[in-house]
Amino acid sequence: MRQIVLDTETTGLEVSLGHRIVEIGCVELINRRVTGKHWHYYLNPEREIDGGAFEVHGISNDFVANKPRFAELAEEFLAYIDGAQLIIHNAPFDVGFIDQELARLDPPAGGVETRCDILDTLVLARQKHPGQKNNLDALCKRYEIDNGHRSLHGALLDARILADVYLAMTGGQTSLGLDAGQGETASDRTTEAVPIEPGAPLPVWRLDEAALAADREYAAFLAEQHDDPAWK
């Protein structure tokens, strides 16, 4: 089964006011395992980013000024998600923005739900934990998923976290996966870790080039937002 965990960042909260997408992040799962085939872009929204939105995600007008427009990437994006089940937290928000972008194309493209089944993890969380907070931070705390590096919202970062939350909510915490096969990462595993014999060498998991490129771009973006980032 192919699933895409998806998140967006936008210029503002109201799609009805013409707000647009500034970032899309997608993480691919096949048979409940992260494949490493992410899809991630910052976008030029062709309008100003609201101050309130900037406070949430830290993406500035200057940063996205030279980024591609959605129309330039629409065909690639649709090919990536086509036929998959989309996993989204508060799906009406993200789907509404994506559908607006698809409607702006020439010719307009059909909405997301004509191409994909959609699973809303906010609805799922409310069913499992009625009367409790069910935002992403609350779910990370509930399922003991580390999100300490999430000082600002980011589409790819939040999609990665949501993938862990979804796997935990639906039948298995992600683990270190020390018995994983070649090419798998720690986040690929949903089974219990196997103890390592004393003195045995620890496995080293290598990121693929797509993940490294996404991390480099996000680090460059954060460096632009802070005068003296700690990692320098």
Catalytic residue IDs: 153
The torsion region of residue 144 among left (phi > 0), alpha (psi -120 to 50) and beta comes to left
Question: Would you say 145 and 165 are in contact if contact means Cβ atoms under 8 Å apart?
Answer: yes
Give the C-alpha distances (Å, rounded to integers) separating 85 from 33, 36, 81, 82.
14, 17, 8, 9
The angle at the Cα of 181, spanning 178 to 186, to the nearest 5 degrees, equals 45
Q: State the Cα–Cα distance between residues 173 and 64, nearest whole angstrom.
A: 36
For 71-200, strand residue ranges (E) read 85-88, 117-120
Phi, psi of 70 (to 5 degrees): -55, -40
| Maximal CA-CA distance, the chain | 62
Residues 6+ positions from 231 with CB-CB distance below 8 Å = 219
Phi, psi of 12 (to 5 degrees): -175, 180
Please, what's the b/e burial string for 91-121 (b: 16 or more CB within 10 A of its CB; e: otherwise)?
bebbbbbbbbbbeeeeeebeebeebbebbbb
